[in-house]
Amino acid sequence: MDQLVRRQAVGRVVGRAAERSGATAQAGAPAAQAAVPAARPVAHCPMKVAAEVLSRPARRRGKALENAIFEATLDQLTSGGYARLTMEGVASAARTGKAALYRRWASKVELVIDALESTLPRPADTPDLGSARAELLLLIGGFTEAINSRAGGAMQALMSELDHEQAAVFKDFVVQRVIEPTKHTILDILQRGAERGDVRPGAATPLLADVAPAMLMYRVKICGRDIGSEFAAELVDEVLMPLIGMPAGDPPQAG
């Protein structure tokens, strides 16, 4: 529809220019004929205007505009941090007006939270794979992918520079959006494993469910280290399985 409107606008521009050109030709006066060479650039103007109109990007609305704004927000966070992020800068990068942002978000805090909420991978329930180890590997592998994603990188940049008052808002978001869902899923895995027999009884506790998210956040935020694909297996096999595994059998009783 936008393309059709632009073509119609081009047609009107070219038509008006053609009318002006015809009126000049009918004048017939020597002075007008002498002015023809100087008027040649005017004959080319409609085509130049047409090219400019057709080269303009189509106006985005709704979800397409929102996605462009979110992408620009994440880019601004990753490259310059939260302190340098401005509504004007996001609007310019998204090729829209600042008013389009303020119609949706009252402040950059709300914009950043919505951008992260929309783009961070969502923790999903882990299916019964018949093994607590396999289920933990699947869950923690997804967690590491989220941390290493574009939105995860923006979130890390965000948390690394905020003062306490500002950080509280985003900390609550991370806890509710990422940490708590992951802990609940870990508890489900441990409870299912205990019923199945490959997790020791009593291992499904909130403290044990804290271990994996705590280790991941420690590596990223405190140590500043990247988390590779191998980290999930190391965390499961070297930390979690020894904590939750079935205890060794009791020694045989004397006859």
One domain for residues 207 and 136: yes
Confidence of residue 59 (pLDDT cuts 50, 70, 90): low
One domain for residues 80 and 139: no
One domain for residues 109 and 143: no
Has residue 124 been placed in a domain?
A: no
One domain for residues 156 and 239: yes
Domain that holds residue 182: 132-244
Confidence of residue 51 (pLDDT cuts 50, 70, 90): low
Q: Report the C-alpha gap between 145 and 119 in whole angstroms.
A: 13
Q: Between residues 98 and 25, which one has the greater pLDDT?
A: 98
Q: Between residues 39 and 169, which one has the greater pLDDT?
A: 169
One domain for residues 68 and 51: no
One domain for residues 204 and 136: yes
Q: Report the C-alpha gap between 159 and 167 in whole angstroms.
A: 7
Average pLDDT over the chain, rounded to an integer: 78
Please state, in angstroms and as integers, the Cα–Cα distance from residue 129 to each residue in 91, 93, 194, 195, following that order.
46, 44, 14, 14
Q: Report the C-alpha gap between 234 and 231 in whole angstroms.
A: 5
DSSP 75-112: HHHHHH-TTT--HHHHHHHTTS-HHHHHTT-SSHHHHH
Q: Which two tokens stand for residue 229?
A: 């694909």
Has residue 169 been placed in a domain?
A: yes
Instruction: Look at residues 128, 105, 141 and name the one whose alpha carbon lies nearest to residue 229.
Output: 141
One domain for residues 87 and 112: yes
Instruction: Look at residues 171, 64, 177, 178 and name the one whose alpha carbon lies nearest to residue 109.
Output: 171
> What pTM, to 2 d.p., does this model score?
0.67
- What's residue 97's pLDDT? 93
CATH of the domain at 183: 1.10.357
Has residue 253 been placed in a domain?
A: no
Q: Report the C-alpha gap between 79 and 74 in whole angstroms.
A: 8
Q: Report the C-alpha gap between 170 and 85 in whole angstroms.
A: 15
One domain for residues 83 and 45: no
- What's residue 221's pLDDT? 78
Has residue 44 been placed in a domain?
A: yes
CATH of the domain at 101: 1.10.10.60
One domain for residues 191 and 100: no
Has residue 141 been placed in a domain?
A: yes
Has residue 84 been placed in a domain?
A: yes
One domain for residues 203 and 156: yes
- What's residue 254's pLDDT? 41
Has residue 222 been placed in a domain?
A: yes
| Structural domain total, the chain | 3
Cβ-contact 140, 232 below 8 angstroms: yes
Q: Of the given ranges (36-40, 129-133, 163-167, 216-220), which has the lowest mean pLDDT?
A: 36-40
One domain for residues 50 and 66: no
Please state, in angstroms and as integers, the Cα–Cα distance from residue 19 to each residue in 23, 30, 47, 87, following that order.
6, 20, 15, 45
- What's residue 203's pLDDT? 95
- What's residue 27's pLDDT? 45
Sign of the torsion angle spanned by Cα atoms 29, 35, 36, 37: positive
- What's residue 136's pLDDT? 95
Has residue 255 been placed in a domain?
A: no
One domain for residues 236 and 168: yes
